A and B are shown apart, each in its own frame.
Chain A
Amino acid sequence: MAQHEGEASPRVQYPLNSEAYRILDEIGVGVSAIVYKAECLPMNSALVAIKSIDLDQSRADLDSVLREVKTMSLLSHPNILRAHCSFAVDHRLWVVMPFMSAGSLQSIIGSSFPDGLPEPCIAIVLKETLNALSYLHDQGHLHRDIKAGNILVDSTGTVKLADFGVSALIYESNTSSGTSGSSSSSSLMLTEVTGTPYWMAPEVIHSHTGYSLKADIWSFGITALELAHGRPPLSHLPPSKSLVMKITKRFRFSDYEQSRSEQSPKFSKSFKDMVASCLDQDPSKRPSADKLLKHPFFKNCKNSEFLVNKVLSGLASVEQRFKESKIRRSLSIKNTDDDGDEEENEESSMGEIIKQRRISGWNFKEDVLELDPVFPSETETLSPPRRQVRFAAEPIIRDPSNESSSDNPGSSSQSVEGVQELHDEHTNEHAGSLAVAVPEGTQLSAQIGVSLAHLDRDGVVRMLRGLTRSLYDQRRAVGLMLTILTGQEEVSREDQLLQENERLKMELEQEKKKTSEMEMEMEFLSLQISRGSTSAASRQSGE
């Protein structure tokens, strides 16, 4: 029988009340979730990780959260972190999971391998991750957030992909709710993108797998670079550009001025080749997870014991690393002055957050195994876009002339990108004029859908939504052509208002963030003062 069954069937029932658990330590924080290390008292105090999601704070569409949790509990694979159980604790949802004692790869790298892991270790981690990805994709699920921070390791060297779908979901809907009109329209949008294929027509499933599965492969490639260099790819950027500054700060490239190309370690040909195939601009050319598993790079892969010896020995505990990263974070906030766009880490895993997936245009240099962002317009980096952005931004039609001048892209490439990012509402000064207000469209079609409730409502709504989008597409394309021909931007009144609106919103956001950063800094300073002395700030953790 299927090899998963052994794992799935005799599922130990963990207690479904909070009293049965004793919380030991905080090991991760997010916008609306906290992850704890805890012990399950009736089970000989077995260690677990508990993710506690605030359902009230995250004004998420509750239905989507529910759906995501259900989906998650039906996944069963040795390389996927499966929840033991989940239950409500007042307005929080507790998801009880196995405790992965070595923490995330991102945290491991952050504390012990700042310049990246040795290649044989990368191979192990990536191969296990691919196994998980292949399983997910086979089921028609997207992970949507592959990165070192979501790859966890336990003391025996077992690698598991953590499915933080719930938090990602809450996060996305949280940000998207800012601009969409009514709750009904925002939930519609979510449903459309995050819906499970069960209920979708076959052709929808198909277009779903058609390009969005390949988005996971892209993120997988970026993760490979992250493991190889110790950080996600973003070097060789002209630091003068404020835009770039923002990106670099987001990625915490304190050393972005240094040229790292000379000291970049040597990687094998097969590794470079494997990464390059994942980072193909054309999604259809990226290999599937199954195909990647057959890549020569994963031949003669070492076992988990190797990982334990090479990577895990001498590693600080997860909770200790979390505390250290917290301190580092407050320090780095102190160092960033005007950095208003930095989000607090919304990912629970282990601290700093990386959003490499937000950037759509890259120029991969295979020889040095480095990837430069070709032109991430601020749209994608400043404000976290909703999910559609990634799908829409995926097939980047690049003006060939821009390919070469990746560091200094002309404005035309910017416009081209703007057109690709049709569904992004968080626009900015640059791309703003080409922005399209999708939510209005959605709302409209949603209303039509309601009045036609007796027909096949879902079908009609979907069709109308498609139409709306295509109208916007065309309008923008025409606008773009006019821009190119006349040399002037055709800005409609509506767009201007939208733009202004967005700008003000962004300013407000920035102010808010600055305030919270100041508060954090103050907290940090008072912590410093209360500590009094200089040494070993990290060891003296909480009370």
Chain B
Amino acid sequence: MKGLFKSKPRTPVEVVRQTRDLLIYANRSSDTRESKREEKMSELSKLIRELKSILYGNSEAEPQAEACCQLTQEFFKENTLRLLITCLPKLNLETRKDATQVVANLQRQQVHSRLIASDYLEANIDLMDVLISGYDNTDMALHYGAMLRECIRHQTVARYVLESAHMKKFFDYIQLPNFDIAADAAATFKELLTRHKSTVAEFLSKNYDWFFAEYNSKLLESTNYITRRQAVKLLGDILLDRSNSVVMTRYVSSRDNLRILMNLLRESSKSIQIEAFHVFKLFAANQNKPPDIVSILVANKSKLLRLFADFKTEKEDEQFEADKAQVVREIAALEPRDRP
């Protein structure tokens, strides 16, 4: 590495250009002589590593703002990102990881106080389709997934993904048998539904029906323990966020939703029980409970009170105890409605 720097000190702009040239080469058909190709691919790996060390610094030097700025500008001036993304499957594992880190870093680089990556992605939003479809490919999923999560830091990009048909696919990706890929998809899903508050609130209001139908049946009632546990936790995060209060009110007025949450409360897993409680409390605390919610709570009053009697978190949690006390008060005070 050191020798490389000393023999030919390339400017950041040159590094980007050379990378681009080699990416174009790599993307073309591979009928060049094998040895030559190998050489070029190895040069490409070196270049991408150099991009990374300009952006992140290395053991000898901190990154230079000016160099990062030049690099970013040159990178987005032409279609380098698209080339890099489409070329990624042709690179070796270490280079893929370097490329992922480069792409991640570029999303945050400001040029003249603008995130030019955001502008680029807006104009090339179809790249998101490529990244998301990565979850169908065991080899690419983790790399594309990591890039995707960085890209949805930009609100416009997140909005595109939320409103695209891809959103439905996530319900399946989260449950892929490969644990590492499923976990990555879950992390992206969570990011999509929590990062940009106003966009999320808008999305949930517009897509309430299908989204929560899927959420309930595929995630909360999944046979997969990890899916249920993540889903009920995320549901709590979503509903407890003040920006989603309209959605929350709607959610806690449905008896189907209440039934599902009560089933989760009965799970043998403590972690799921606790997370389920954080959603259940919203049903109980709702001051305008619809009659059918009240009747379910009344019908299960003694069971619920018994459950809460020795319902504890592993460690002391004042907030939890306070919430529990309030829920118990609410439920205890419920009386069967007089028949009209």
- On whether A202 and B179 interact (CB within 8 A), knowing A88-B224, A181-B317, the answer reads no
Contact in complex: B42, A1 (CB < 8 Å): yes
What residues of B have a CB within 8 angstroms of the CB of A209 in the complex? 59
Stretch in contact with the other chain, from B6-14, B127-135, B182-190, B279-287: B182-190
Stretch in contact with the other chain, from A68-76, A307-315, A470-478, A508-516: A68-76
What residues of B have a CB within 8 angstroms of the CB of A183 in the complex? 317
Contact in complex: A66, B59 (CB < 8 Å): no
Q: In chain A, what residue has the closest Cβ to B97?
A: A74
Bound-state CA distance A178–B315 (Å) is 6
Q: In chain A, what residue has the closest Cβ to B269?
A: A56
* B290 located at the interface, meaning its Cβ lies under 8 Å from any Cβ of chain A in the complex: no
- With both chains docked as a complex, state the minimum distance between the C-beta of B338 and any C-beta of chain A, in angstroms: 41
Contact in complex: A182, B142 (CB < 8 Å): no
Q: Report whether over half of chain B's contact residues are helix, strand or loop; otherwise say mixed.
A: helix
Contact in complex: B56, A88 (CB < 8 Å): no
Residue in A70, A88, A93, A178 whose CB lies within 8 Å of B184: A70
- With both chains docked as a complex, state the minimum distance between the C-beta of B283 and any C-beta of chain A, in angstroms: 21
Residue in A55, A74, A182 whose CB lies within 8 Å of B226: A55
What residues of A have a CB within 8 angstroms of the CB of B233 in the complex? 62
Contact in complex: A9, B63 (CB < 8 Å): no
Residue in A67, A76, A205 whose CB lies within 8 Å of B56: A205
Residue in A1, A17, A74, A453 whose CB lies within 8 Å of B92: A1
Contact digits for B40-56, partner A, Cβ 8 Å, 1 yes 0 no: 01100100000000011
* B93 located at the interface, meaning its Cβ lies under 8 Å from any Cβ of chain A in the complex: yes
- On whether A88 and B179 interact (CB within 8 A), knowing A74-B142, A202-B63, A206-B57, the answer reads yes
Contact in complex: B269, A9 (CB < 8 Å): no
Q: In chain B, what residue has the closest Cβ to A76?
A: B93
Residue in A73, A180, A206 whose CB lies within 8 Å of B62: A206
Contact in complex: B180, A73 (CB < 8 Å): yes
Contact in complex: B317, A16 (CB < 8 Å): no
Bound-state CA distance A69–B181 (Å) is 10
What residues of A have a CB within 8 angstroms of the CB of B183 in the complex? 66-67, 69-70
Contact in complex: A62, B226 (CB < 8 Å): yes
Contact digits for A2-31, partner B, Cβ 8 Å, 1 yes 0 no: 101100110101001100000000000000
Q: In chain B, what residue has the closest Cβ to A454?
A: B197
- With both chains docked as a complex, state the minimum distance between the C-beta of B313 and any C-beta of chain A, in angstroms: 8
* B319 located at the interface, meaning its Cβ lies under 8 Å from any Cβ of chain A in the complex: yes
- With both chains docked as a complex, state the minimum distance between the C-beta of A108 and any C-beta of chain B, in angstroms: 31
* A203 located at the interface, meaning its Cβ lies under 8 Å from any Cβ of chain B in the complex: yes
Contact in complex: B97, A86 (CB < 8 Å): no
- On whether A69 and B179 interact (CB within 8 A), knowing A91-B269, A205-B56, the answer reads yes
Q: In chain A, what residue has the closest Cβ to B274?
A: A183
Bound-state CA distance A88–B229 (Å) is 12
Q: In chain B, what residue has the closest Cβ to A177?
A: B315
- With both chains docked as a complex, state the minimum distance between the C-beta of B244 and any C-beta of chain A, in angstroms: 13
Interface size class of A (residues with CB under 8 A): 35 or more
What residues of B have a CB within 8 angstroms of the CB of A503 in the complex? none
* B118 located at the interface, meaning its Cβ lies under 8 Å from any Cβ of chain A in the complex: no
- With both chains docked as a complex, state the minimum distance between the C-beta of A184 and any C-beta of chain B, in angstroms: 10
Contact in complex: A453, B179 (CB < 8 Å): no
Contact in complex: B57, A139 (CB < 8 Å): no
Contact in complex: A182, B56 (CB < 8 Å): no
What residues of A have a CB within 8 angstroms of the CB of B146 in the complex? 198
* B19 located at the interface, meaning its Cβ lies under 8 Å from any Cβ of chain A in the complex: no
Contact in complex: A203, B62 (CB < 8 Å): yes
Bound-state CA distance A232–B306 (Å) is 52
Bound-state CA distance A88–B186 (Å) is 14
Q: In chain A, what residue has the closest Cβ to B186?
A: A66
Contact in complex: A70, B142 (CB < 8 Å): yes
What residues of B have a CB within 8 angstroms of the CB of A11 in the complex? 139
What residues of B have a CB within 8 angstroms of the CB of A88 in the complex? 179, 182, 224-226
Residue in B45, B139, B184, B224 whose CB lies within 8 Å of A2: B45
Bound-state CA distance A93–B318 (Å) is 31
* B72 located at the interface, meaning its Cβ lies under 8 Å from any Cβ of chain A in the complex: no
Contact in complex: B314, A9 (CB < 8 Å): no
Bound-state CA distance A73–B142 (Å) is 9
What residues of B have a CB within 8 angstroms of the CB of A17 in the complex? 177
Contact in complex: A1, B41 (CB < 8 Å): yes
What residues of A have a CB within 8 angstroms of the CB of B179 in the complex? 69, 85-88, 93
Contact in complex: B62, A9 (CB < 8 Å): no
Contact in complex: B178, A16 (CB < 8 Å): yes
Contact in complex: A182, B317 (CB < 8 Å): yes
Q: In chain B, what residue has the closest Cβ to A58?
A: B271
* A90 located at the interface, meaning its Cβ lies under 8 Å from any Cβ of chain B in the complex: yes
- With both chains docked as a complex, state the minimum distance between the C-beta of A133 and any C-beta of chain B, in angstroms: 15
Contact in complex: A4, B177 (CB < 8 Å): no
* B216 located at the interface, meaning its Cβ lies under 8 Å from any Cβ of chain A in the complex: no
Contact in complex: B225, A55 (CB < 8 Å): yes
* A59 located at the interface, meaning its Cβ lies under 8 Å from any Cβ of chain B in the complex: yes
* A63 located at the interface, meaning its Cβ lies under 8 Å from any Cβ of chain B in the complex: yes
Residue in A9, A63, A93 whose CB lies within 8 Å of B187: A63
What residues of B have a CB within 8 angstroms of the CB of A202 in the complex? 55-57, 62-63, 105
Identify the 4 closest CB pairs spanning chains A and B, nearest first: A66-B183, A5-B92, A16-B177, A8-B93
Enumerate 23 A-B pairs (CB-CB under 8 Å) in ascending A order. Answer: A1-B38, A1-B42, A4-B92, A8-B93, A62-B226, A63-B187, A67-B187, A69-B179, A73-B142, A74-B97, A76-B94, A85-B179, A86-B180, A87-B178, A88-B224, A90-B225, A177-B314, A180-B315, A198-B101, A198-B104, A202-B63, A202-B105, A454-B197
